[in-house]
Amino acid sequence: MNEKEIFDKVVKILEPYVRNQDALKSIKNETNIVTDLQVNSSRLVDIILAMEDEFDIEIADEEADSVESVGAAVSLIKSKQ
Amino acid sequence: MGILTPNGYGLSEFEDALRNSISGIRFIEKLKELNFACHVGGIPVNFKERAKEYFTNEALLAMNEAMIYAGIASIDAWKDAGYEIPGENSEVNWDTGAIIGAGLGGMDTIGELVVPKVTAGKVRRMGSTIVEQTMASSVSAKVGGLLALGNQLSSNSSACNTGTEAIIDAYYRIKHGYAKQMLAGGVEGSSEFTWGGFDAMKVLNSTSNDAPEKASRPMSASSGGFIPGSGGGVMFLESLESAQKRGARIYAEIIGGSLNCGGQRMGGSMTAPNPTSVQRCIQSTVKMANIQPTEIDYINGHLTGTMADPKEVNNWSKALGLSGSQLPYINSTKSLIGHCLGAAGSIEAIGTVIQMTKGFMHKSINCEDLHEEIKPFESKVVRETINKEINIAAKASFGFGDVNGCMIFKKWKN
């Protein structure tokens, strides 16, 4: 799976949790999940679970902590494939 | 007031359903599949679709059925009281709180997520939304955030007395000056995990699976247990001073409310009420209201469709000192919607106020064959919907634990 495909799937996973719909329209690798998209930080747990299911990978807690931006999520997923 | 019940969503639909004896009891396939004895129940129609009109997808990810009912009923009550829904960055409303309870609460979350995942050793897979959906205060906690409430925010629980207790507690809080406005009521979901325990107790009527609308039979000689219901009802209570100052529309005044317990003595038990405590509860409410029993025009009974109904009617009679045809008119809203457990008291209190405001008493259906011990009161059992002015109405609820609640409403006249 190339980076673009992973990116699109990550956006799809994030969508239901996003409270700032404007930020979603201009979403890019640098977009911060909590501060820009205004995802409730407690929901990061659910987003990580959804990524594990979607890409059939396992993400350790310390790895999950590094997922602050959309790009960080994409890189982490890519590194596990 | 805000409401959603098995036979109506919103005040006007519910009024129409009460007036026209529209039953909300339906056949529920899942109960049959799961080998329940009772295959019928009451669930607000299309509540999941309705929820999307009120809440974002993000919010709904962490809201179970009872929380959805609490949210919808509270938002509708809030708007009915003349307020807009505050924005996410609005100021906190320090003078307004909420007491919204549930009998069993988030049993759907517990049954569908917590137990299967934890048992399978997959705790991590539960995600982040479990606690906020299973904590006993889940049904009030969400409302506090939706409406920026800054006063007391809590959930009470007293089994089938929950909705009534919430209203009485909120009434006390305002009366004592600790809050100006309170949302108050009860909610209950329709999970098979909630209803299963009652089915196992054999307290649900399982003899009318092929005729759902006939299944809920309060005061009937052929009643064979109650029918489970679900939904939510929330009242917006406000001090008279505050309501008049802002020119709010006032439906009714609460002039008395009492709560007690029978100590599970003198005939009372975990599941049956001590008759003396029921009578004391009614009497202390009448005393607080500073009225004569003969001034009560109408009683909205607890009347579930079990063998407790004749005892209840006789308790009302003894407590008020009014026998036979002296008893105020009495009906059972549960005949139309089943027993909504923790939501019952507040849904029926709203039904009481609707009847009071609109000047009618709804038909108590399915009691053509009145129970022998209720026959002395036959002329006061409302068996056809009648147009009748109600100035003073009493509503009571009784719950497992031998707990009782009674409140008296007075019609508001400008």
The pLDDT-based confidence of B385 (bands split at 50, 70, 90) is very high
Q: B299 and B230: one domain?
A: no
Residue A1 pLDDT class (50, 70, 90 cuts): confident
- Residue ending a domain, choose from B245, B269, B296: B245
Residue entry with tokens 């309870």: B101
The pLDDT confidence band at residue B248, using thresholds 50, 70 and 90, is: very high
Whether the CB of A19 is below 8 Å from some CB of chain B: the reply is yes
Question: Does the distance separating the beta carbons of A43 and B128 come in below 8 Å?
Answer: yes
Q: Is A29 on the interface with B (CB under 8 A)?
A: no
Amino acid sitting at position B236: F
Q: Which residues contact B283 (CB under 8 A, 6 or more apart)?
A: B319
Closest by Cβ to A46, choosing from B56, B57, B127: B127
Give the CATH number, domain containing residue B142: 3.40.47.10
B171-187 pLDDT per residue, tens:
999 999 999 999 999 99
Give yes or no: residues B223 and B368 share one domain.
no
Is B61's Cβ below 8 Å from some Cβ in A?
yes
Q: β-strand B25-27 against B40-42: which pairing, if any?
A: antiparallel
Q: Where are the alpha helices (DSSP H) in chain A?
A: 3-14, 21-25, 44-55, 61-65, 70-79
- Least Cα separation, residue A32 to chain B (angstroms): 18
Exposure pattern of B60-96 as b/e (b: 16+ CB <10 Å)? bbbbbbbbbbbbbbbbbbbebbebeeeeeeeeebebb
Q: Which of B186, B218, B245 is the last residue of a domain?
A: B245
Minimal Cβ distance to B127: which of A18, A19, A49: A49
B225 and B274, same structural domain? no
Q: Is the distance from CB of A52 to CB of A58 less than 8 angstroms?
A: yes
Confidence at A22, pLDDT banded by 50, 70, 90: very high
Average pLDDT score over chain B: 97
Q: Give ipTM to 2 decimals.
A: 0.87
Q: Positive or negative CA dihedral for B151, B155, B161, B163?
A: positive
Tell which of B245, B266, B301 closes a domain.
Answer: B245
Q: Is the pLDDT score of B235 beyond 90?
A: yes
* Best residue in A22, A24, A42, A51 for a mutation probing chain B (most B CBs within 10 Å): A42
> Closest residue of A to B127, CA-based?
A46
Residues in B touching A44 (Cβ below 8 Å)? 128
Question: Is B79 in the A-facing interface, judged by CB distances under 8 Å?
Answer: no
Sequence-separated (6 or more) residues with CB below 8 Å from residue B138: B64, B66, B67, B102, B105, B106, B132, B155
| B128/A46 touch (CB, cutoff 8 Å), yes or no | yes
Q: Which tokens hold the place of B224?
A: 């064979």
For residue A49, list its beta bridge partners: none
Cβ–Cβ contact B129 with A under 8 A: yes
Q: Would the pLDDT of B232 be above 90?
A: yes
Say yes or no: B224 and B265 in one domain: no
A-interface mutation test, from B56, B57, B58, most A Cβ less than 10 A away: B58
| pLDDT, average across residues B221-237 | 97
Chain A CB contacts of B127 below 8 Å: 45-46, 49
Q: Under an 8 A CB cutoff, do B58 and A18 touch?
A: yes
Per the structure, the complete domain to which residue B306 belongs is given by 252-411
Q: pLDDT value at position B254? A: 98
**B366/B402 same-domain check:** yes
Q: Could you identify the residue written with the tokens 């009614």?
A: B282
Residue B332 sits in the same domain as residue B308: yes
- Same domain (yes/no): B216, B97: yes
Do B211 and B322 belong to one domain? no
For B90-144, how does the pLDDT look when each residue is reduced to its tens digit (9 = 90+)? 999 999 999 999 999 999 999 999 999 999 999 999 999 999 999 999 999 999 9
Is residue B217 domain-shared with residue B365, that is, in the same domain? no
B258 shares a domain with B241: no
**What does the alpha-carbon distance between residue A74 and residue B361 come to, in Å, rounded to a whole number?**
64
Flag if A16 and B57 touch (Cβ within 8 Å).
yes
pTM assigned to the model: 0.96
List of chain A residues whose C-beta atoms are within 8 Å of the C-beta of residue B117: none
List of domains in chain A: 3-79 (1.10.1200.10)
- Examine the pLDDT at B39 and tell me if it is beyond 80: yes
Q: For residues B160 and B44, what is the distance between their CA atoms, to the nearest angstrom?
A: 18
Partners of B392 in the β-ladder: B410
Q: Decide if A1 touches B, using CB distance below 8 A.
A: no
Confidence check: pLDDT of A81 > 90? no
Contact B235, B254 (CB under 8 A): no
For residue B414, pLDDT over 80 is answered with no
Q: Which helix (H) or strand (E) holds B253?
A: strand B252-261
Query: For chain B, what is the domain count?
Result: 2
- With contact defined as beta carbons under 8 Å apart, do B354 and B385 qualify? no
For an interface test with B, give the residue of A15, A39, A43 to mutate (most B CBs within 10 A): A43
CA closest to A42 among chain B residues? B128
Phi, psi of B310 (to 5 degrees): -60, -35
B113 and B25 in a single domain? The answer is yes
In the predicted structure, residue A50 carries a pLDDT above the cut 80: yes
B111 and B82 together in one domain? yes
